[in-house]
Amino acid sequence: MTVDAAVGPTSARPLPVLDEADTAPFWRACGEHRLTYQRHRDTGEVVFYPRGQHDPALETCDSAGLGTVYTFTVVRQHGHPFFRAHAPYTVAYVDLDEGFRLLTEIDAEPGTLRVGQRVELHWEDHDGTSVPIFRPAG
Amino acid sequence: MAPRRAAIAGIHEHPLRRAPGRSKLQLKAESAARALEDAGLTFADVDALYDAGETGPMSGITVAEHLGIEPTVLDTTSLGGSSYEFHAAHAARDIAAGRSNVALLTYGSTSKSEARAIGTGARSAPDPVPGLNMEIPYGLPLIGNYALVAQRHMHEYGTTPEQLAEIAVTTRAHALRNPEAVAGLRDIGLKNVDELTVDDVLGSRLVADPLHLLECCIVSDGGGAVVIVGENVVAGTRKPPVWILGSGEAVGYPGNTRDLTTSAGAVSGPPAFVEAGVRPEDIDIAMIYDSFTITVLTLLEDLGFAKKGEGGSYVEGGRLRWDRPGAPALNTDGGGLSSNHPGMRGIFLLIEATRQLRGESTSQVDGARLAVAHGNGGQLGTRHSAATVVLGRD
């Protein structure tokens, strides 16, 4: 594990690798502001994170972007320059209504979020993709 | 009681928590020599090598060459802090299968000297696996990962910050009875090396809500070694054998419906107890991976010491201190919270459990007969491994 010396104090949010084989289609869809998950055509089983695109039984679906906070933490200390400047920020597992669980950021005043709270999807646009983040619903 | 085929016969914990100028390999080699000496054996006796790869890729070759040994059983299972419980389980299995007689496990780390920020570090993964690639943009540090578990545990069961703090208070009390831990806390620059109160813990700053600084393991250098031998070798060793009576292994990962308050320990624990022919309530010494307070609370439940959701009340009132009857003594060396945590502390769980069952601990429990060592590797809130080892004396 090394700290990237090229990362300056004004660095941007770290982004996923956009050509990783299984997750590239997910991040491409994010670039179109679509939050996608997979579902087994026969069993209805929800698959997430995405697995390959070679199983004909798996269909890709769009989420409505509404969910419930399963758990969260307020991160107050981080070694990466972006997150150090960004702290305190809230990271949560959100259970989407379609049945998949996503680790994400909640844009909320630290200390105000609760487990079980309803949240809705927003997009933070970047070069090559958009990052799904959530805000308290309504 | 289970058949007794393999036993821990030699142990060594490197005393230094700051070892500038020493390499990981040197810490491993030094510890190995002392552990073999403890067993009354030599490097020439070693025929099986177990290694978690902290010195780099292909460590089975590197470590064998450096130690000048010629093992005919090699196992480089690398599952973070739990690696050494996996190694102990595998060594017992290999010995029982007649593949080896003298197994060597070693560990060396210079995390402190390298100033590695393990819990809050800016870790970059140039070639991330898919699960990790989904999480990169969100800046969840290791402590935050465990905090996700703590938050959910509090929500579901009403577990309180005070109850979690009790675990840090207990391990500090044990550390203060361990001269090497006390020296280590000073060496790594801790300002407060006194007894802790629940208020002290909750008064330390929040690092990732709801976890406070004093609920997090320290970062130290460290090293250690364990020698495991077959029953035919035991008679010639110097110290009373500590038998490996049972073991279990498991992994856990997020999924879409996982109950985050239950770890893979709930899967690895039961078969270990069954194989050993004992129950959790029989255990005198609980060496449970204490990366964070919530790790211990979760694992106490998962291993069956307390019912799920009742871990909070179970640890109240210093119940797991070495001198309290009615419950096992927890991490009597001071644990990762207050003795040492060089990154993968699983080997020290085996070492202190062995000290206890030999009667050599600095917080010795009278008549300690049975111990459990449970390693948790990876990150509890996302991807983690679990290995449980039940140990017993003659």
Query: For the segment B264-284, what is each residue's pLDDT rounded down to a tens digit?
Result: 999 999 999 999 999 999 999
Chain B residue numbers with beta carbons less than 8 Å from the beta carbon of A22 are: 130
Best mutation target, A2, A36, A72, A103, to test chain B (most B CBs within 10 A): A103
A-B C-beta contacts closer than 8 Å? 134
CATH number at residue B317: 3.40.47.10
Chain B residue numbers with beta carbons less than 8 Å from the beta carbon of A4 are: 122, 124
Chain A residue numbers with beta carbons less than 8 Å from the beta carbon of B207 are: 76-77
Residue A1 is predicted with a pLDDT of 34
Residue B163 is predicted with a pLDDT of 98
Whether residue A70 is contained in a domain is answered as yes
Peptide bond into A25 cis (omega under 30): no
Taking the CA of residue B215 and the nearest CA in chain A, the distance in Å comes to 15
Stretch (H or E) spanning A31: helix A24-31
CB contact under 8 A, A73 and B120: no
Query: Between B299 and B124, where is the model more confident?
Result: B299
Residue B124 is predicted with a pLDDT of 67
Residue B123 is nearest to which of A1, A26, A77, comparing CB atoms? Answer: A1
CB contact under 8 A, B140 and A89: no
Q: What pLDDT digit, counting tens, does each position of B207-227 carry?
A: 999 999 999 999 999 999 999
Residue range of the domain that includes A111? 24-136
> Is the per-residue pLDDT at B3 higher than 90?
no
Whether residue A46 is contained in a domain is answered as yes
Chain A residue numbers with beta carbons less than 8 Å from the beta carbon of B122 are: 3-4, 7, 78-81, 83
Average the pLDDT over B141-164 and give the result. Answer: 98
Q: What pLDDT digit, counting tens, does each position of B301-319 carry?
A: 999 999 999 999 999 999 9
Residue of B nearest to A114 (CA): B155
CB contact under 8 A, B133 and A72: no
CB contact under 8 A, B208 and A83: no
Whether residue A130 is contained in a domain is answered as yes
Whether residue B226 is contained in a domain is answered as yes
Whether residue B277 is contained in a domain is answered as yes
Residue A3 is nearest to which of B122, B138, B151, comparing CB atoms? Answer: B122
Taking the CA of residue A62 and the nearest CA in chain B, the distance in Å comes to 16
CB contact under 8 A, A14 and B137: yes
B83: left (phi over 0), alpha (psi -120 to 50) or beta: alpha
| Percent of chain B residues past pLDDT 70, beyond the cut | 98
Per-residue pLDDT of chain A (138 residues; tens, 9 = 90+): 334 444 444 589 999 999 999 999 999 999 999 999 999 999 999 999 999 867 889 999 999 999 999 999 999 999 999 999 999 999 999 999 999 999 999 999 998 999 999 999 999 999 999 999 999 998
Residue A52 is predicted with a pLDDT of 83
Peptide bond into A110 cis (omega under 30): no
Residue range of the domain that includes B254? 6-114+219-393
ipTM: 0.94
Taking the CA of residue A78 and the nearest CA in chain B, the distance in Å comes to 5
Chain B residue numbers with beta carbons less than 8 Å from the beta carbon of A111 are: 209
CB contact under 8 A, B122 and A83: yes
Lookup result for tokens 């690696």:
B83
Whether residue A2 is contained in a domain is answered as no
Whether residue B192 is contained in a domain is answered as no
Residue B139 is nearest to which of A20, A78, A92, comparing CB atoms? Answer: A78
CB contact under 8 A, A72 and B122: no
Whether residue B138 is contained in a domain is answered as no
Residue A19 is predicted with a pLDDT of 93
Whether residue B152 is contained in a domain is answered as no
CB of B381 within 8 A of CB of B120? Answer: no
Whether residue B93 is contained in a domain is answered as yes
Residue B122 is predicted with a pLDDT of 60
CB contact under 8 A, A73 and B144: yes
Looking at the 3D structure of chain A, how many domains does it have?
Answer: 1
Chain B residue numbers with beta carbons less than 8 Å from the beta carbon of A110 are: 209
Instruction: Read off the pLDDT band of B1 (50, 70, 90).
Output: low
Residue A6 is predicted with a pLDDT of 46
> Is the per-residue pLDDT at B343 higher than 60?
yes
Chain B residue numbers with beta carbons less than 8 Å from the beta carbon of A70 are: 152, 260
Whether residue A14 is contained in a domain is answered as no
**Phi, psi values for residue B370, rounded to 5°:** -130, 140
Residue B135 is predicted with a pLDDT of 96
CATH number at residue A118: 2.40.50.840
Taking the CA of residue B136 and the nearest CA in chain A, the distance in Å comes to 6
Whether residue A12 is contained in a domain is answered as no
The pLDDT mean for chain A works out to 92
Whether residue B280 is contained in a domain is answered as yes
Whether residue A6 is contained in a domain is answered as no
**Nearest CA-CA partner of B286 in B308, B261, B270, B304:** B304
Residue of A nearest to B382 (CA): A103
Looking at the 3D structure of chain B, how many domains does it have?
Answer: 1
Whether residue A1 is contained in a domain is answered as no
